[in-house]
Amino acid sequence: MSEIYYATSTGPVNIATLKYWGKRDKDLNLPTNSSISVTLDQANLRTLTTASCSSKFDNDQLWINGATYPLDGARSKQVLADLRSLRKEVENENSSLPKIATFPLHIVSENNFPTAAGLASSAAGFAALISAVARLYKLPTDASELSKIARKGSGSACRSLFGGYVAWEMGDLANGEDSKAVQVADKKHWPDMKAAILVVSDMKKDVPSTSGMQLTVHTSDLFQHRIKEVVPKRFIEMKKAIIEKDFPTFAELTMKDSNSFHSVCLDSYPPIFYLNDTSKRIIKLINLLNESAGKIIAAYTFDAGPNAVIYYEEKNEKYVLGLLHQFFSHLGGWESSSFDPKNAVIPE
């Protein structure tokens, strides 16, 4: 009788505070700069994936929230080929293991956040898939090693292999062997740090990230300045701010880097606009809040779309979310936050 082998794992969402934007190798997803992210709480945002394989399955197949997808895209194929070749190595080293590397795989995924929320779900999706298959195949679970496979699926996915604060070191080898994620600090290191998401629009991205990056790399003059002069310095400063739990510095760098990323988008030709008027009003409000607090207590950041992610320390939640709720209670995202507007403290 043909057996079915299976294993389950989760993959969290990560939001970059120092943005990855630009590829030096499109096929291997090698970036033009290093980046940093915070992995969000899995209670609110995660993909849960079960991977199974059997000789009786017909082909590789993927289900996301019940809908069927073929696993025949170049990126998914590459990821599965890498995982299978690692399983073959494991089988060669241990002859008592069943020979399952060539069996078709069935991947069943479920997101606990609305897929329509306009949030980058591909990072959580690839991370969950890779963790589940690595468990199924009993691969050595070095997260940095697995991050190199995740990177080929979707660049930013490599950072979702870790919790807490994560750096993606760009590396400089042509084969990408040194382009991997490493943990800067785990979540426990800075437990007060919190993130809130404001869903400004759940429409599909105007310009997908891969084509947007290519346009920026080839047409923006400002981009060269960003990757050579700005990001390398910021990468060191942001890691230091995380290690020292220095919120004002971390927050200032986060906001400046979001601004810098959206500036190179605007400097692309033709220009790419990801922020809309609501995003800009959120930026203004966070700046006013920090001014009235007399110090930086909140940071905004925006990926390739208009939705805002706000970082703050828990002790300031009543001010930060209190003010945001007063002006933006109509936006999506509040349902996944534990904030009670009755606790709001609004500055004069």
With CB under 6 A as the rule, give the number of residues binding ligand PMV. 14
Out of 10, 13, 19, 247, the residue judged to bind ligand PMV by CB under 6 A: 19
| Beta sheet of 193-198, edge-to-edge order | 193-198, 308-313, 298-302
The minimum distance between CB 127 and ligand PMV, in angstroms, equals 11
Which DSSP string corresponds to 114-174? -GGG----HHHHHHHHHHHHHHHTT----HHHHHHHHHHH-GGGGGGGSSSEEEEE----T
Binding to ligand PMV (CB under 6 A) within 131-190 occurs at 154-156
Q: x/- string (CB under 6 A) for ligand PMV, residues 191-210?
A: ------------------xx
3-state secondary structure of 38: strand
Binding to ligand PMV (CB under 6 A) within 20-59 occurs at 20-21, 35
Q: 310 forms bridges with which residues in the sheet?
A: 196, 300
Q: Look at the alpha carbons of 214, 168, 42, 137 in this order and tell me if their dihedral is positive or negative.
A: positive
The minimum distance between CB 85 and ligand PMV, in angstroms, equals 23
The minimum distance between CB 38 and ligand PMV, in angstroms, equals 11
Under 8 Å between Cβ of 128 and 10? yes
The minimum distance between CB 53 and ligand PMV, in angstroms, equals 27
Determine the interface stretch with ligand PMV among 16-24, 64-72, 87-95, 241-249 (rule: CB under 6 A): 16-24
Pairing verdict, β 61-64 and 105-111: parallel
Binding to ligand PMV (CB under 6 A) within 61-120 occurs at 120
Q: Considering beta carbons, is residue 9 or 35 the nearer one to ligand PMV?
A: 35
Residues found near ligand PMV in the complex (CB under 6 A)? 16, 19-21, 35, 120, 122, 154-156, 209-210, 303-304
